């Protein structure tokens, strides 16, 4: 039996290659309603390698004109993509709900985040600091050697392959952060759709392709393709026309793409966000409040753990709780709060099965015991959320306790001293986030932990939860391996554009041959660093 959402009349089940709807010749796949495990229409056809080459060749052809767009046209394109997505909001959210089991409010908010980050990058493009213009003026009279005129700017890398994430069908998918930042950098994108939400991908893909056409850009600026990751995805990364990769997903898939990219005759960077358990550290002061305060803190933790069925890369999967009465009181409060929680539908049957296998593996370890458990949900693929506990020594000696379980499962680590906290932190792999719950009285105890966390994570929070990621100028959503493949970058926020740019210097080139960003007359009105000093463009900041 198949169920057909109201968006069927708009969906073709085809890839979009350089603006054209292209049926694949490599088989078919369906999206599935994870609440019922029923397939959704239409079937999506999968492309073969020859069709993939059409997409990458078109991206290469588009690169010259797209990479040299003037700022106003470039920014208008990103704004138009956002406008087109918003025009499809109702059917987009309906299809995404059917394909992912995520609630309407979550997906409505995610749509806003998607369009918001596109408009944020449009502002970045208009402002222009990502060009990184530096000018060292000629000093012909300098002794003992004169200095040449040297100008530097950052240029786009070339066509970028982007892979959609399973857990964010919008904000980390077709027009998500990787696509938005690559397009903002001036790089055409070949997007490999996630097969768990193909209809959602097609609706957004059409919004981007329409914006390309409406702005009169080369159609190869964007292509959306469907195909198996193990074959078409690997072939996409291996294609010599592709110059960088953006990926959000599992460690196994991410490292496989990294290996393919490294083995090419011309290796390319893979910016992969993969695995994180996001440690949370409770200090004594944070648990010293009255019963109501502790209950509220436990409820907020459970809310962070179970939101979106725990299928967030920033979910609090590891919690350090002090040994003794304060920690006991908090653990008991978490157990009570968790007992009232029912499992939510997970994204796919496969993800739910992996969660179950991970929980069984964790719970079977010596020295691990249950802290609390919720109730199974009423739909397919909605297991009960769980929290387990162990001591710090067991955590440090058992590799299995360091593994990510993607979903609503967490492990409490009971510790007795700051030295134990520091030792356990040093033992951990790289993470996206670390969170401190503390009061003013805990500052002295927490201070020695901060340098350790700086070496391990990309974002350090205080008295909050890691499952909210603001999209802005200062955000870092990255971290040391295996959180990401490159700890110097972020996949959220405006700094993400830097991943798809590289510096080029121009020495003594005639003015007529210089590109617009570094010309003496500064036609794009860019801020510059001239001889080491910041020089604002005329009208900057107005």
Question: Residue 3 pLDDT more than 60?
Answer: no
DSSP string, 243-312: -EEEEES-HHHHHHHHHHHHHSSS---EEEE-----EEEE-GGGG-S-HHHHHHHHHHHHHHHHGGGG--
Region for 323 from its dihedrals, namely left if φ exceeds 0, alpha if ψ lies in -120 to 50, beta otherwise: beta
User: How confident is the model over 297-317, as pLDDT tens digits?
Assistant: 999 999 999 999 999 999 999
Q: What gap in Å lies between CA 163 and CA 52, rounded to an integer? A: 14
Contact, 31 vs 197, CB < 8 A? yes
Beta bridge partners of 68: none
Top CATH class of 279-462 equals alpha beta
Question: Residue 294 pLDDT more than 80?
Answer: yes
User: How confident is the model over 160-211, as pLDDT tens digits?
Assistant: 999 999 999 999 999 999 999 999 999 999 999 999 999 999 999 999 999 9
Each domain of the chain, given as residue ranges in start order, spans 13-274+491-498, 279-462
What is the pLDDT confidence band of residue 9, given thresholds at 50, 70 and 90?
A: very low
pLDDT at site 229: 78
Contact, 208 vs 228, CB < 8 A? no
Chain CA centroid to CA 362, Å:
27
Question: Residue 5 pLDDT more than 90?
Answer: no
Average pLDDT in the 446-452 region?
A: 98
Top CATH class of 13-274+491-498 equals alpha beta
Contact, 439 vs 283, CB < 8 A? yes
Beta bridge partners of 191: 162, 224
Question: Residue 4 pLDDT more than 70?
Answer: no
pLDDT at site 540: 53
Average pLDDT in the 381-395 region?
A: 98
Question: Residue 378 pLDDT more than 90?
Answer: yes
- Which residue out of 91, 99, 202, 273 is catalytically annotated? 273
Q: What gap in Å lies between CA 473 and CA 181, rounded to an integer? A: 13
On the question of a common fold for 13-274+491-498 and 279-462, the answer reads no
pLDDT at site 272: 98
Question: Residue 541 pLDDT more than 70?
Answer: no
Contact, 156 vs 132, CB < 8 A? no
What is the pLDDT confidence band of residue 539, given thresholds at 50, 70 and 90?
A: low
User: How confident is the model over 426-436, as pLDDT tens digits?
Assistant: 999 999 999 99
Does residue 313 carry a catalytic annotation?
Answer: yes
DSSP string, 85-138: HHHTHHHHHHHHHHHH---HHHHHHHHHHHHHHHHHHHHHHHH-GGG--EEE--
- Which residue out of 187, 202, 313, 420 is catalytically annotated? 313
User: How confident is the model over 227-251, as pLDDT tens digits?
Assistant: 987 899 999 999 999 999 999 999 9
Longest dimension (CA), the chain: 83
Does residue 110 carry a catalytic annotation?
Answer: no
pLDDT at site 228: 87
pLDDT at site 230: 83
- Please tell me the pTM assigned to this model: 0.95
Which helix (H) or strand (E) covers residue 154, if one does? strand 150-156
């Amino acid at each position: 039996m198949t169920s057909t959402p109201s968006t069927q009349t708009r969906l073709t089940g085809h890839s979009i290659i350089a603006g054209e709807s292209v049926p694949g010749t490599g088989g078919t796949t369906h999206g599935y309603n994870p609440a019922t495990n029923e397939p959704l229409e239409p079937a999506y056809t999968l492309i073969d390698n020859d069709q993939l080459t059409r997409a990458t060749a078109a991206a290469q052809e588009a690169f010259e004109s797209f990479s040299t767009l003037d700022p106003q046209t470039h920014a208008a394109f990103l704004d138009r993509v956002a406008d087109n997505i918003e025009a499809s909001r109702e059917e987009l959210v309906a299809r995404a709900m059917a394909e992912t089991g995520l609630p309407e409010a979550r997906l409505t908010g995610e749509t806003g985040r998607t369009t918001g980050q596109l408009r944020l990058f449009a502002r970045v493009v208009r402002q222009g600091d990502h060009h990184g213009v530096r000018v060292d003026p000629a000093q012909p009279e300098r002794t003992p050697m004169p200095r040449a005129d040297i100008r530097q700017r950052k240029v786009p890398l070339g066509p970028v392959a982007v892979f959609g994430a399973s857990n964010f069908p919008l904000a980390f998918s077709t027009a998500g952060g990787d696509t938005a930042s690559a397009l903002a950098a001036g790089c055409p994108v070949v997007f490999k759709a996630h097969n768990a939400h193909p209809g959602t991908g097609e609706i957004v893909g059409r919004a981007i392709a329409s914006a390309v056409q409406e702005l009169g850009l080369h159609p190869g600026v964007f292509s959306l393709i469907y195909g198996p990751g193990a074959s078409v995805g690997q072939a996409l990364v291996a294609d010599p026309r592709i110059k960088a990769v953006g990926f959000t997903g599992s460690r196994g898939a991410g490292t496989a793409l990294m290996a393919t990219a490294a083995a090419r005759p011309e290796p390319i960077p893979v910016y992969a966000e993969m695995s994180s358990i996001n440690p949370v550290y409770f200090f004594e002061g944070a648990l010293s409040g009255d019963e109501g305060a502790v209950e509220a803190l436990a409820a907020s933790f459970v809310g962070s753990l179970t939101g979106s069925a725990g299928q967030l890369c920033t979910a609090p999967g590891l919690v350090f709780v002090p040994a003794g009465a304060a920690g006991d009181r908090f653990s008991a409060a978490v157990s009570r709060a968790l007992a009232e929680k029912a499992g939510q539908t997970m994204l796919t049957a496969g993800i739910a099965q992996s969660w179950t296998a991970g929980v069984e593996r964790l719970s079977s370890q010596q020295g691990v015991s249950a802290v609390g458990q919720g109730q199974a949900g009423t739909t397919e693929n909605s297991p009960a959320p769980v929290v387990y506990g162990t001591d710090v020594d067991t955590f440090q000696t058992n590799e299995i306790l360091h593994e990510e379980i993607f979903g609503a499962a967490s492990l409490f680590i009971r510790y007795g001293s700051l030295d134990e906290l520091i030792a356990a932190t040093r033992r951990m792999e790289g993470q996206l986030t670390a969170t401190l719950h503390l009061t003013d009285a805990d500052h002295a105890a927490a201070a020695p932990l901060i340098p350790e966390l700086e070496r391990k994570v990309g974002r350090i929070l205080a008295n909050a939860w890691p499952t909210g990621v603001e999209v802005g100028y200062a955000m870092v959503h990255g971290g040391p391996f295996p959180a990401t493949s490159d700890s110097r970058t972020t996949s959220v926020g405006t700094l993400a554009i830097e991943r798809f740019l590289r510096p080029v210097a121009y020495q003594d080139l005639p003015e007529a041959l210089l590109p617009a960003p570094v010309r003496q007359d500064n036609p794009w009105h860019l801020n510059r660093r001239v001889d080491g000093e910041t020089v604002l463009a005329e009208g900057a900041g107005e």
